Amino acid sequence: MSEGLSGWNVYQLGQLIDRGSAELQTGPFGTMLNSSEYTVTGTPVIAVQDIGENKLSHHKFVYVNEFTVKRLSRYKVKKGDIIFGRKGAVERRAIIKTSEEGWLQGSDCIRLRFDDSIDAAFISYQFGSESHREWMLQFASGATMPSLNQQILKLLPIRLPALPEQKVIAAVLSSFDDKIDLLHRQNKTLESMAETLFRQWFIEDAHEKWSDTTLDCHSEVMRGLSYKGSGLSDSGLGIPMHNLNSIYEGGGYKEVGIKYYTGEFKERHLVRTGDIIVANTEQGHEFKLIGCPAIVPSFYGENGLFSQHIYRVILKENSYLTTEYLYYLLMTPNVREQIISATNGSTVNMLAIDGLQRPKFKLPPKETVVEFSRLVKSWWKKKDVNHLQLRTLEKLRDTLLPKLMSGEVSVIN
């Protein structure tokens, strides 16, 4: 133990384990938990892909039955446990919440547990600081795939103020996360409302007398910029360029994928706030990304560029369809199947422009489209407001985190 800045004590994790304040446990070996034991319901098993940024990402859990849980009871997690992945994104971690108690840690996870003398939430936030993330990546073993083990983690430096200060710091940072989570949930609810309304009005209540039409009667598809790598620049320098990594699998805009470009381009390569972009390329043939749409957000400014791996889709002047309607139409199973059938390629799957023009659908009445778009536009506007708040809160939290963890900003008078 040594004394750091601001009078905080600095330990290696192994020292805290030796004195009984912490314990590490690797998940069960593969022979102890076979894939044949997985079920469609039951107790979730935490895998490395479930570990997000200080929380579990509840997406594709596998489950086991009560008999397996009883047999592997020593691997059940408790509130406050911190879970690391043993391979891959080793700098990420998740802290277990009350609702996740009793779940099983998977064989590819390491669990860290503290006693009451240390605030686990404080430690988990400390692990999220840039210095600790860099430490994880630097000391993880393996050239191509970073890996963690107990021996490495025992060397991890931990800085501890007094317990009351730990709790206050964790509470301050948790207040940011609680607000951020609330805004994320609100946006998911608004998106779910729009998807449900579209399904009810235009699929479940579709009328047989609605006329058949094709996408090319209502929209045009534009090719993106075939850019040079030398034109790419650092974040914030140049023009924002939306690209294949700007679209989530299944649809929706992915902010972390943005690039910036300073090279040459033409007017036709510009995309504007509110435009629809569609992925036209995908590695392999799982069809999770190709043909999926996203709406260009407002927070990058009015104009941007779009790369050759995505298309820009715009409505024709003589069509009464709207961006809101077209966006959800592109994600319907019927249209998705038609788009997917138009893709081709061996290792890299490609979608030609006419693959976005040929799909057929039933044309709904104008008044229904207009009313749907009026409602959805108001929900999208609320989502945009929420997203701007999210960006502000995340920036404040990320700015405050290293200052709190270094003792530069004190929360105790």
DSSP string, 239-281: EEEE-GGGB-TTS-B-GGG-EEE-S---GGGEEETT-EEEE-E
Q: Is 69:43 a contact under the CB 8 Å cutoff?
A: yes
273-309 tens-digit pLDDT: 999 999 999 988 889 999 999 999 998 888 999 999 9
Instruction: Provide mean pLDDT across the span 141-169.
Output: 89
Nearest Cα neighbor of 127 from 108, 110, 102, 103 is 110
Residue ranges and CATH numbers for the domains of the chain are 2-160 (3.90.220.20), 211-363 (3.90.220.20)
Residue 345 has pLDDT above 60, yes or no: yes
Instruction: Provide mean pLDDT across the span 230-252.
Output: 91
Check residue 32 and report its DSSP letter: G
CA distances from 131 to 71, 159, 173 (A): 39, 12, 17
- The first and second tokens of residue 337, run together, are 């199947």
CA distances from 290 to 68, 94, 225, 306, 356 (A): 39, 31, 18, 16, 11
Q: Indicate the range of 146-150, 197-201, 256-260 predicted with least confidence.
A: 146-150
The predicted pLDDT at position 4 comes to 47
DSSP string, 101-131: TTPEEPTTEEEEEE-TTS-HHHHHHHHTSHH
Instruction: Provide mean pLDDT across the span 237-260.
Output: 93
Instruction: Provide mean pLDDT across the span 51-59.
Output: 82
Instruction: Provide mean pLDDT across the span 372-380.
Output: 97
The predicted pLDDT at position 116 comes to 95
* C-alpha span between 181 and 98 (Å, rounded): 16
Q: What is the pTM (predicted TM-score) of this model?
A: 0.85
Residue 326: which pLDDT band, with cuts at 50, 70 and 90? very high
Helices and strands: H and E segment counts in the chain: 9, 26
The predicted pLDDT at position 59 comes to 63
* C-alpha span between 27 and 46 (Å, rounded): 10
Q: Is 242:307 a contact under the CB 8 Å cutoff?
A: yes
Q: Is 159:9 a contact under the CB 8 Å cutoff?
A: yes
The predicted pLDDT at position 252 comes to 95
Residue 222 has pLDDT above 90, yes or no: yes
